Amino acid sequence: MPLPKTDTKPLASEDARRKRLRAVLSILKRRWGAPDQSGTRRVLDSLVLTILSQNTNATNRDRAYESLRERFPTWEGARQARAQSIAAAIRVGGLANQKARNIKNLLRWADEEYGSLDLEFMRDWPSDAIRETLLPLPGVGVKTVSVLLCFTLGRDVFPIDTHVSRVCRRLGLVSWKTSIERAHEMMQDIVPKGRSFEAHLQLIRFGREICHARKPECAVCPIIRHCQYPEPPE
């Protein structure tokens, strides 16, 4: 059984939560070291990859992306293809029909709006302008845009995926009732300045390796004293 998704304690003050997060990140950094920040993707590549990451794990996401690029070496080829052909290429990533439609819509939108499938000009845009432009697109939510801003454009923006959301809630940094959109805002206020990339990767690794959705490994958890829901599952 997973830990109960109920708020048994009120949220601490913003300053207290900021200090708690700093302590957690310090422990995780000593355990795993600083994450590698080398390498980047092109804007459109990042958007497609993040769409493929929805409701699946990193392995299947990467396999779906590799299969897609093998089937369509250019994005123009994918734009001209039928959604069913895209879906067949990304089947391993799950939700293939839905993701194929969203990828097809993204490519069509880029071509119609800008006459090009090269979105590298967005690197010069303010973050708010990128959000306003991309968030209305089907399949492009706050997580997708935050990943783009943080990982591809190098902005100090903290993305929240399923693992990070679970860890943040168990640590009492946001409540279980907080929407994912509001959680992004709240976490951005308490993540140390300039450390969004590091914080995201440390917390996602912790969520994958120790703080599982089911049967979290509380007995070996290095940050258990900071957990607001430390009771082991029944």
Quickly list DSSP for 24-38: HHHHHHHHH-PPP--
pLDDT (tens digit per residue) in 130-150: 999 999 999 999 999 999 999
Which residues is 2 bridged to in the sheet?
214
Torsional class of 54: left (φ above 0), alpha (ψ -120 to 50), beta (otherwise): beta
Taking a C-beta distance cutoff of 8 angstroms, is the pair 198, 157 a contact? no
Distance CA(110)–CA(118), nearest Å, equals 8
Task: Answer whether residue 213 shows pLDDT above 70.
Answer: yes
Instruction: Map out the domains of the chain with their CATH numbers.
Output: 14-36+158-226 (1.10.1670.10), 43-152 (1.10.340.30)
Average pLDDT of the chain is 93
Sign of the C-alpha dihedral computed for residues 93, 98, 100 and 102 taken in this order = negative
User: What is the token pair recorded at 213?
Assistant: 């959705």
The pTM assigned to this predicted structure is 0.90
State the pLDDT at residue 10.
84
**Tokens in use for 209?**
């390796």
- The whole-number average pLDDT for the span 185-205 is 97
Q: Helix axis angle, 14-32 relative to 180-190, nearest 10°?
A: 80
